[in-house]
């Protein structure tokens, strides 16, 4: 896992460590790590044109000391000061190594490498001048842009971006990741994130946000004694006379998601379409009411909502399923029903909700624009208010449970912004729930595999993403390869 900590916790850990070290040691560690990354990025250090954008905080000091190290190796290093303050010790070190202070921002246009030390992890809100102008000019330059700890203009705690922000090629962060490096829109400004160990480990508390590596995704594996029931039976209530595609796609996500058996139930037309496309699914035509779960048969988890409709019949189906003591995933139309029947969430068994920002706005009564701008804040709020595992879809998918670190999915891709992919995700997570995974683990694994399948489906002949557009059914078809890629 990649672990991220909120700014206040990082500050407290830094203070605790600095109290045990000689003065300036921590900054020198950061500067050494920053300089080492810069050396790797440059074709050659000697004679390279390096520009440091320097604010008055510690990141400005990190940049100056790193610049001094580069200057001692023959780079031509220039620092551009923003604001009235500058780190005096760092400036003295730079000048002693042969670097200089420059006031003309045109030096950015000729730079081979730019180090962004304008603001630090404590920066919030929109950048003001001259910071904003320097950030914009750096982003437009042809040189490699390396951000110190977090790109200036990105809120380190949330990933919010208000106004101009540096577009970095590489972000060198110190001690631990910060949430804003993992969550869009801030994450999209970071480029490649390099973590430099400065010794904070023992002083850091539990993380606030985590992002998995492939090795962290462990879906259920069938054993020698497995049969279709032990592998997990997932029940799906989806589709309608009008919306049969959601039924087919959610069932496909479950079939290719590792379920031992899929029991699909709906109206006659949806059942017939699913039976034709997925003959391995056990299907049933059901009538809404308290006995619906008995009509479907025994399952280990439920998926309810995709294409179901939002009227009284859909509400009756949802109420029946949420009245069980089994894990339930609610998506799409089911979420619309829940927005008016939040009382149905008063249950002990695990509940997974998979809204996009618009659906979440209806569930918790918040403006969609605020949710999209402050995704971390609102996914936490939703998990607490709704007593559920909440998977908030978007350019960065977040998964939250109350009093747990928020999971960030790193495999998301814009190629998933097409109709039906959410239905696939629902069936996939439902299969993982039926296989025995805990709700937050199933949701995180499902999001990871879903994004990975989309990347595989859209890959060109050389494995690069984005060579071709994809459909939701392409995602279903790529799920087996996504599972295989986990190793």
Is residue 323 marked as binding?
no
Q: Pick from 177, 217, 214: which is nearest to 195 by CA?
A: 177
Give the distance, in angstroms, between the CA of residue 386 and the centroid of all CA atoms in the same chain.
Answer: 21
Q: What is the DSSP string of 254-303?
A: HHTTT-SEEEEEE-HHHHHHHHHH-TTSEEEE--SSTTHHHHH---SEEE
Is residue 60 marked as binding?
yes
Is residue 387 marked as binding?
no
329-351 burial, b at 16+ Cβ within 10 Å, e below that, comes to bbbbbbbbbbbeeeebbeeeebb
Q: Are 92 and 112 in contact, with CB atoms under 8 Å apart?
A: no
Is residue 120 marked as binding?
yes
Q: 77 phi and psi, to 5 degrees?
A: -110, 130
Is residue 409 marked as binding?
no
Is residue 487 marked as binding?
no
If one counts every other C-beta atom within 10 angstroms of the C-beta of residue 129, the result is 10
Is residue 58 marked as binding?
yes
List Cα–Cα distances, 337 to 17, 120, 242, 333, in angstroms. Answer: 51, 44, 18, 6
Residues 6 or more apart whose CB falls under 8 angstroms from that of 21 comprise: none
Is residue 126 marked as binding?
yes
Is residue 354 marked as binding?
no
Is residue 59 marked as binding?
yes
Residue 8 corresponds to which tokens in the numbers above? 């206040």
Helix (H, G, I), strand (E, B) or coil at 184: coil
Is residue 62 marked as binding?
yes
Is residue 131 marked as binding?
yes
Q: Are 171 and 150 in contact, with CB atoms under 8 Å apart?
A: yes
Q: Are 431 and 259 in contact, with CB atoms under 8 Å apart?
A: yes
Rounded to an integer, what distance in angstroms lies between the CA atom of residue 420 and that of residue 423? 5
Residue 433 corresponds to which tokens in the numbers above? 């729930």
Is residue 396 marked as binding?
yes
Rounded to an integer, what distance in angstroms lies between the CA atom of residue 178 and that of residue 417? 27
Is residue 394 marked as binding?
yes
Is residue 121 marked as binding?
yes
Is residue 325 marked as binding?
no
Is residue 307 marked as binding?
yes
Is residue 397 marked as binding?
yes
Report the DSSP beta bridge partners of residue 161.
Answer: 154
Rounded to an integer, what distance in angstroms lies between the CA atom of residue 35 and that of residue 319? 59
Helix (H, G, I), strand (E, B) or coil at 105: helix
For residue 361, the surrounding DSSP H or E stretch is helix 357-364
Is residue 57 marked as binding?
no
List Cα–Cα distances, 448 to 86, 396, 437, 460, in angstroms. Answer: 43, 11, 14, 20
Is residue 44 marked as binding?
no
Residues of the binding site? 58-62, 116, 120-126, 131, 149, 152, 246, 307, 356, 393-397, 422-423
Residues of the binding site for K(+)? 59, 116, 152
Residues of the binding site for (6S)-NADPHX? 58-62, 120-126, 131, 149, 246, 307, 356, 423
Residues of the binding site for AMP? 393-397, 422
């Amino acid at each position: 896992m990649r672990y991220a900590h909120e700014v206040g916790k990082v500050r407290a850990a830094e203070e605790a460590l600095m109290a045990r070290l000689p003065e300036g040691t921590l900054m020198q560690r950061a500067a050494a790590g920053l300089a080492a990354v810069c050396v790797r990025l440059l074709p050659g250090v000697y004679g390279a044109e390096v520009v440091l954008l320097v604010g008055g905080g510690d990141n400005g000091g990190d940049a100056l000391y790193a610049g001094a190290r580069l200057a001692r190796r023959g780079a031509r290093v220039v620092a551009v000061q923003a604001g009235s303050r500058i780190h005096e010790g760092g400036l003295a070190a730079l000048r002693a190594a042969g670097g200089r202070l420059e006031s003309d921002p045109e030096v950015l246009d000729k730079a081979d490498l730019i180090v962004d030390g304008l603001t630090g992890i404590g920066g919030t809100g929109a950048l003001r001048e001259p910071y904003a102008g320097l950030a914009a000019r750096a982003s437009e330059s042809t040189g490699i842009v390396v951000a110190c700890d977090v790109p200036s203009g990105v809120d380190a705690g949330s990933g919010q971006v208000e106004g101009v922000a540096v577009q970095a090629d590489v972000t060198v962060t110190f001690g631990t990741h910060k949430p804003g490096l993992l969550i869009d829109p801030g994450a999209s400004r970071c480029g490649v994130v390099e973590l430099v160990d400065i010794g904070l480990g023992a002083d850091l508390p539990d993380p606030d946000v985590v992002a998995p590596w492939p090795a962290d995704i462990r879906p259920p594996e069938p054993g020698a004694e497995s049969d279709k029931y032990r592998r997990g039976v997932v029940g799906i209530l989806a589709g309608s006379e009008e919306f049969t595609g959601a039924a087919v796609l959610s069932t496909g996500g479950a079939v290719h998601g590792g379920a031992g058996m899929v029991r699909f139930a709906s109206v006659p037309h949806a059942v017939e379409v699913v039976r034709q496309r997925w003959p391995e699914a056990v299907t049933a035509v059901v009538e809404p009411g308290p006995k619906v779960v008995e009509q479907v048969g025994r399952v280990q988890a439920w998926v309810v909502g995709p294409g179901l409709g939002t009227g009284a019949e859909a509400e009756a189906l949802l109420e029946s399923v949420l009245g069980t003591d089994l894990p339930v995933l609610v998506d799409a139309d089911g979420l619309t029903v829940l927005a008016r029947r939040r009382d149905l969430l008063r249950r002990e068994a695990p509940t997974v909700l998979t809204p996009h920002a618009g659906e979440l706005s209806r569930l918790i009564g918040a403006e969609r624009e605020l949710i999209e701008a402050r995704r971390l804040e609102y996914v936490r709020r939703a998990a607490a208010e709704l007593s559920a595992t909440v998977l908030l879809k978007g350019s960065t998918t977040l998964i939250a449970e109350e009093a747990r670190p928020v999971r960030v999915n790193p495999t998301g891709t814009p190629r998933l912004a097409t109709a039906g992919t959410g239905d696939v995700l629902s069936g996939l997570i439902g299969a993982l729930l039926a296989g025995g995974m805990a709700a937050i683990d199933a949701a995180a694994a499902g999001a990871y595999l879903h994004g990975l399948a989309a990347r595989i489906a859209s890959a060109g002949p050389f494995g690069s993403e984005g060579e071709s557009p994809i459909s939701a059914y392409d995602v279903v078809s790529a799920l087996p390869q996504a599972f295989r890629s986990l190793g």
